A and B are shown apart, each in its own frame.
Chain A
Amino acid sequence: GAGVSQTPSNKVTEKGKYVELRCDPISGHTALYWYRQSLGQGPEFLIYFQGTGAADDSGLPNDRFFAVRPEGSVSTLKIQRTERGDSAVYLCASSLYDRRAFFGQGTRLTVV
Chain B
Amino acid sequence: ELKVEQNPLFLSMQEGKNYTIYCNYSTTSDRLYWYRQDPGKSLESLFVLLSNGAVKQEGRLMASLDTKARLSTLHITAAVHDLSATYFCAVDSNSGYALNFGKGTSLLVTP
A residues with CB within 8 A of B = 4, 31, 33, 35, 40-45, 48, 50, 55-56, 58-59, 91, 93, 98-106
Contacts and interface: CB of A to CB of B under 8 A. Distances in A.
Contacts of B93: 45
B98 A48 contact: yes
Judged by DSSP, the binding face of B is: strand
A99 B98 contact: no
Contact of A99 (B44, B92, B102): B92
Given A35-B99, A44-B101, A45-B93, 11 more contacts: A31-B97, A33-B97, A33-B98, A41-B103, A45-B100, A50-B97, A55-B97, A56-B97, A56-B98, A93-B43, A105-B42
B45 A91 contact: no
A105 B40 CA distance: 8
Contacts of B102: 42
Contacts of A99: 31, 92, 97
